Structure 1
């Protein structure tokens, strides 16, 4: 009988301990802390956090804005000399995955559980936009297994081709599931809950990606253009841009936040010289007049720190207030970009339309984006250096798209690599032996924590260097 008594006592003790633990968990629950994440919070927080990454110091201000020679540095010039900081590289990767892919994957699942397809569609569109930024910057990335940390602690890297193809399918499905009557969403600080604009944004991203892959896979790209054209009125209407309008602190523009404590960026001499050469009226919008001069002066990219500092803060031009003000908007996709896409697609036979007319409309839309009249745009377009040249459309579109995307460093960086215009010169004392960056390097955490998959990606794609060409960058 003694042998039976011990298990009984043990069973009683186990039951008692389990009951105590459950009671402690019940007592220690915070009644003011929600146990279920609210979809409106996930949407608004996800938009703000990821647009901050896109527009902020690591991806743009110390990276793509310098590489594409929109901005230059007048202090701490290592980034402008292509010496990338490990922390910044890590932040871009970590923020986009942890604050973007994870959160929007959760929101998509919530959309299913709440039977609200519009939450899911918005989540998939934003997640696709983030994946597009990641693959544009790094090349092969974790995609199919990303956002599923409970299943895949060390996700496999997918090829850039597979990422782009997957995104085209996801965006198509998301656009198709949007309902414009009923199923309202809250927390939409980007488009104010306008599901028709979300659909247009999704289709605009589909065309952007289709053009990105057109040099490698023309037939797939054309199929996308054909599908979107057959869908009717599914693109952004005139004057509508997808942009986050920032608010006062603590929800200010990250560029404006940066300017509150430092002032080590200036507009690049490269773009100032181009704007001046074309008598471009966007120059005083893109750049400020220095305090000690009456003329806009840009800074050469990649100067040594001592040489840059000697130029003087009050004698060189900062970027204009439309980019640096506290409440300056961050543009994700503009009507002007959409028209440039359609112009190139028409020129290349991907869609119907008159390439020259669409190009003129694109330049006019860029002027309108900054409050300049169509009359001013028409006069500008008459100049020989601006008029559309079908025999060298990459130059015409590449240069004017570069000017129109000012501020959108990541997108401009991708399009410059794809079109090879404008023809930029490497930074003055660049660290890449006269070459320019063509990608971001993977963060060191991937080598340490996901080494097997990291090595497989590098073996397939090429050395993990700033100068390694990505799959889409064919020429």
Structure 2
């Protein structure tokens, strides 16, 4: 099944091509020799692969969020690392999210209803909720209500970020009820191999993530979401074997990071993360960073974020570290939600008084799960969690969880960017030669096409949210 990625993506394109046309034009342009309605399994594979490629790809991670949270830095063409972008720089997440991912997932929901297969509907709702979360986390106010029926609204109105998060929580509750391990089987699932019980855990884990997104604004609502999950008898991702992720295959279906490093040499690991891992004697350092090609005293050498081109390249391509070979491998996974993240989220929920669980115990389990995720176990893991600098600080749970979660989310640029803004830890320093007056970006700017093609809705969103600039704080980003 996985080896059919390319064929399935082409099948999904048949559905996508009709979206922007009027119904009469669609009828005129139908190909009598081709199928007009794709099957849900083909659409599911296509939507998953397309979204994962965008989520883990160049524009939304390597050229932006991985730089903002200082996992990676640029050694060539350093403008993005200095926060210099055009109004088309952040277009990919938006255009792929709406014109491909959401359109395909909407169609799966319709087909699930038509075929009386609630599991297709439930899986598609979970994935669509994830896509909408990526979009609102990055941009703020976005089209949601009218985007679920985009064929009727070619210039959809924007919804506030608050309304989007609340609607997604409702969608995920609906998905949870629709998913039935004893119900009709599905096919085409390249995340969990059609295991509906694991999709139910994924749905709840995403509900937990969004509940914490809104916790600083509406703790009562966040607490109710978690109480609902408990009353439903629901569970979360509970082992590393249950991580929601897409494991890539060989070229041409390799991990986007691997694909880029096959032909380019623009990136190094950031000095910020390397320094932190050295300071903690963190055993994940050789996983996250590659050894320098030439021998160096430290073996692993990161570069500061946001250097001028000459200063960056002057550090030496062979004397600085690329990201670790684990992340450069063709089969490296695109992680959506890890077991470690779920444990950190449960620890934070407990620290906030949203649940009665043991925050300190869950925090320690989260760090252990992250270490285990990369094969670090036994006494090495135990020694690390016992370090005074790693111990949980109940008086400042945001610092403890924020710093260790930042380490654990390495590679997950978009999610780490959201969590850094929400928790305010680690306390990062702006790019050395940054262009934002000593600030780090706090959002993506809207694609320039929105101004020209959906101007009225765009202007209303800017009036509600604030200037369409990199430093406008979003609704969830309270402090």
TM-score range (shorter-chain normalised) is: over 0.9
Matches within 5 A, 1:279-298: 279-294=281-296, 295-298=299-302
Matches within 5 A, 1:385-464: 385-464=389-468
Question: Aligned residue for 1:11?
Answer: none
Q: Distance in 2 between matches of 1:27 and 1:161?
A: 40
- The structural deviation recorded for 1:238 is 2.0
Question: Aligned residue for 2:354?
Answer: 350
Q: Distance in 2 between matches of 1:90 and 1:334?
A: 27
- The structural deviation recorded for 1:374 is 4.0
Question: Aligned residue for 2:32?
Answer: 29
Structure 1 residues 72 and 26: alpha-carbon distance in aligned structure 2, compared to 1, 3 A threshold: closer
Give yes or no for the alignment of 1:199 onto 2:203: no
Matches within 5 A, 1:160-239: 160-239=161-240
Question: Aligned residue for 2:44?
Answer: 43
Q: Distance in 2 between matches of 1:472 and 1:430?
A: 25
SS of alignment partner, residue 141 of structure 1: coil
Q: Distance in 2 between matches of 1:449 and 1:92?
A: 17
Q: Distance in 1 between matches of 2:183 and 2:418?
A: 37
Q: Distance in 1 between matches of 2:32 and 2:281?
A: 65
- The structural deviation recorded for 1:351 is 0.5
Question: Aligned residue for 1:381?
Answer: 385
Number of equivalences: 449
Question: Aligned residue for 2:95?
Answer: 94
Q: Distance in 2 between matches of 1:356 and 1:148?
A: 44
Question: Aligned residue for 2:255?
Answer: 253
Superimposed CA distance per residue, residues 188-241 of structure 1 (whole angstroms, 9 cap, x where no aligned partner): 111100001111000000000000100000100000111112233521122221
Q: Would the aligned equivalents of 2:87 and 2:446 in 1 still touch at CA under 8 Å?
A: no
Give the RMSD, CA atoms, in angstroms: 1.4
Question: Aligned residue for 1:15?
Answer: none
The answer for unaligned runs of 5 or more in structure 2 is 1-27
- The structural deviation recorded for 1:314 is 1.2
Q: Distance in 2 between matches of 1:80 and 1:184?
A: 46
1:468 paired residue among 448, 458, 472: 472
Superimposed CA distance per residue, residues 333-364 of structure 1 (whole angstroms, 9 cap, x where no aligned partner): 01100000000111110011111101000000
TM-score of the superposition, structure 2-length normalised?
0.92
Question: Aligned residue for 2:152?
Answer: 151
SS of alignment partner, residue 330 of structure 1: strand
Structure 1 residues 51 and 27: alpha-carbon distance in aligned structure 2, compared to 1, 3 A threshold: closer
TM-score of the superposition, structure 1-length normalised?
0.93
Q: Distance in 2 between matches of 1:425 and 1:466?
A: 16
Q: Distance in 2 between matches of 1:141 and 1:359?
A: 33
Q: Would the aligned equivalents of 2:87 and 2:445 in 1 still touch at CA under 8 Å?
A: no
